[in-house]
Amino acid sequence: MNLFDNWLRLNVTGFFTEYTEYQQGITQLATGVITVNVPETDIWGFEMDFVAASSDNLVLSGGIGYAESELTEVLVINNPQNALVPLVDSSAFVGQRLPGTPEWNANLAATYTYPLTANGDLVVRADYSYTGDILRSLQQVGSTGEAQILADEFHLVNA
């Protein structure tokens, strides 16, 4: 939507996605990483962005996003060699968020355009982005090495 005599454009959206038979790597202590089909998982959230042209030369833009993801169904794969110990039991993963999906992300940018000639402009831009921590792989509850599968949040500045 455009506001303030087209000085500000604001976009807001929400989303919900339900995945079935999603393939996911799972870190297990005994076997390392294995790939399984996760029966069902949900992702929902919102995104908001803006562009503000405060003058003919200066444009500010930015956005923020939130995503909640969760594994919602259990998958059990029986072990043909030992019926008492399943090969995969994803009940330990239900409720965990999806790997590769940060909860929060944001960005902000400023662009200044200075006309030099009829054929060219000088453009100066600086931007900042934030990405929240990212789970690299699911891990069984109680496993060690959690720090190895969680990528810390990071900030990025460009000019």
DSSP string, 79-94: -SS-TTS-SEEGGGTT
The conformation of residue 145, written as its DSSP 8-state character, comes to: -
Q: Is the pTM of this model over 0.85?
A: no
pLDDT tens string 2-28: 666 777 888 999 999 887 777 776 665
Both tokens assigned to 147:
């720090």
* d(C-alpha 131, C-alpha 102), whole Å: 7
Let me know: does 4 contact 54? Beta carbons within 8 Å. Answer: no
* d(C-alpha 29, C-alpha 92), whole Å: 13
What is the structure's pLDDT at 147? Answer: 45
Asked whether the CA dihedral 21, 99, 28, 86 is positive or negative, the reply is: negative
Domain locations along the chain: 2-158
pLDDT tens string 17-65: 887 777 776 665 555 666 666 777 888 999 999 999 878 889 999 999 9
pLDDT tens string 108-130: 999 999 988 888 889 999 999 99
* Amino acid, res. 46: F
